[in-house]
Structure 1
């Protein structure tokens, strides 16, 4: 456990009464009363969460927050995005500054059991990799022995890095920085031989380098990094809302329900689709939502496949293959329980 985990656990203890009181009054009720969802986001990562010059946020994690707002308010714009560093993200959620954390956060045992938090699903299956300059002449992470590696403090990458080099009996020098921005700048300035983080982040950050084509992502994936949204312990209803928002987007893709055809689906005789769009059954009421909650999500934001392709897939600058993030029906890991 690194010093940031320890600090987060200490903070959890000191503010437990605050978080507990919020859970008892109900996060959904607070969000509705406030009239806007407070979403903890990253400080800027292309494809996942980044603002433009006008302050408009886009990204895979951003769209999950917009989907929750669509389910609650029927308006995906009723979200205030609060940029959080890796160091501050958990304490900001614990304290109630944000209602939901959606910013490339890895689900681990210690985070799930020691911080007073719940992970609501995996919206992106990732793994840690390495970015190097082509001129280094390295085509495998196993050839980085004796090298210097830039990484960010307060993330799972430090431990994964240590585990990988120790298990392969290789020596290395770690060059760590407090923020991702500092880490990337140090790598580009030549202060280290390689930059390591989640592979998705490597592809995103490579786009921001002066000459992206001069850098390559090595083939090794050295860890499991299931990334997903996080909420506070103690409010099962809010956990259900965030969890089923993600599941709704997956189920919609599997059922062939898209942003373009969701209105036509209101006329469908298919019982699964009728339950999904709310024309049959009362599946929103137990969560404190309208029965067309899932319809609202797809109408305003789209299904998981649409959101993936737009932000990080072939329709984006990153052009990341679906891979493990394909639906289970297409060889991937994305799978949602049914609405029934």
Structure 2
């Protein structure tokens, strides 16, 4: 979800935090744990399992950063955040990074004083309706009641779409994805709208998933990715290049199964060598040891493995790679070179 409220207040908070947070790496090392903000729960992306252990596509980014910085993917304190609390938690320093379904926008990057370090999922806003509603297009939703998280870009996109198409709707305000699902299944709204990935994830958990359908329209661009506070470029570099390491690993054929062997000695591919620390001094450039990227990949796998394990077509959520395929396969996933 994508919060756009309290811009002025949070901008001030972001500025204040930026001045005090220019040593996030030192703080994380001294604390011995990474404080990572996640969603309150979206299947496949971030939710605790039956034993209370957090799992998911976004969770893997947190664990990869912890492995890169601390050498331990379990050295993470997960802080659940809602659409309204996530930015305050980051600006105040309660969390070191935010890795949840948060859209990179102009105002968040500038007015709120955050740095998005990359995109780990290219998404778009969609609509889910009961199959027995009898509609096949969002253009047929005039007069519908819509479950919508208030204070978000989802809310703004919804208003824009209905305005452009000359339709009206009645909003049913909700705070969290769990509340949205509860209200939707109870019949409190005709439509539930959010990122299509979240709709697919939540529908997969329904008792009767086939009773709901995702309409074909995609009404926005939602580049989702991890973010940090302005004012600490070293920390932003670490989070950015940890994500890039997972992306490059897939492109270069480095996997969770072979990373230890490939990282034990320099091989024939110079970029693999630089990535895994057997050649060059890339780790030292960001204040980490030579095995930082190797540790991250060993902990969670490469980008493709993280995708397939948590949300891919072989899971209950069943998302195709689509735009999130590597650029070599026609997608948008692409890392700058490690050199």
TM class by shorter chain equals: over 0.9
Partner of 1:195: 192
Which of 182, 187, 203 is 1:185 aligned to?
A: 182
CA distance in 2, matches of 1:12, 1:35: 29
Partner of 2:276: 277
Partner of 1:31: 28
| Pairing 1:158–2:151 present | no
Normalising by structure 1, we get a TM-score of 0.96
CA distance in 2, matches of 1:108, 1:15: 16
Which of 89, 108, 129 is 1:132 aligned to?
A: 129
CA distance in 2, matches of 1:295, 1:11: 36
Deviates more, 1:141-150 or 1:95-104: 141-150
CA deviations 1:50-81 (Å, max 9, x no partner) are: 00232100111100000000101111000000
Partner of 1:80: 77
Question: How far apart are residue 19 of structure 1 and its match?
Answer: 3.7
CA distance in 2, matches of 1:277, 1:326: 23
Partner of 2:172: 175
Name the Cα RMSD after superposition. 1.4
Partner of 2:67: 70
SS at match of 1:196: strand
Question: How far apart are residue 269 of structure 1 and its match?
Answer: 2.0
Pairing 1:237-248 to 2, within 5 Å after superposition: 237-248=234-245
SS at match of 2:282: coil
Partner of 1:234: 231
- Give yes or no for contact 1:153–1:177 (8 Å, CA) kept in 2: yes
Question: How far apart are residue 6 of structure 1 and its match?
Answer: 4.3
Q: Taking structure 1 as reference, are residues 274 and 221 closer, same or farther at Cα in structure 2, changes over 3 Å only?
A: same
Q: Taking structure 1 as reference, are residues 334 and 18 closer, same or farther at Cα in structure 2, changes over 3 Å only?
A: closer
Q: What is the aligned length?
A: 336
SS at match of 1:169: coil
| Pairing 1:113–2:110 present | yes
- Give yes or no for contact 1:46–1:205 (8 Å, CA) kept in 2: yes
Question: Where does the alignment leave 5 or more consecutive residues of structure 1 unmatched?
Answer: none
SS at match of 1:263: helix
- Give yes or no for contact 2:143–2:168 (8 Å, CA) kept in 1: yes
CA distance in 2, matches of 1:292, 1:146: 57
Question: Where does the alignment leave 5 or more consecutive residues of structure 2 unmatched?
Answer: none
Question: How far apart are residue 136 of structure 1 and its match?
Answer: 0.7
Normalising by structure 2, we get a TM-score of 0.96
CA distance in 2, matches of 1:229, 1:20: 21
Which of 199, 204, 207 is 2:201 aligned to?
A: 204
CA distance in 1, matches of 2:186, 2:5: 31
- Give yes or no for contact 1:154–1:178 (8 Å, CA) kept in 2: no
Q: Taking structure 1 as reference, are residues 171 and 6 closer, same or farther at Cα in structure 2, changes over 3 Å only?
A: closer
Pairing 1:15-26 to 2, within 5 Å after superposition: 16-23=15-22, 26=23
CA distance in 1, matches of 2:119, 2:186: 34
Partner of 1:334: 333
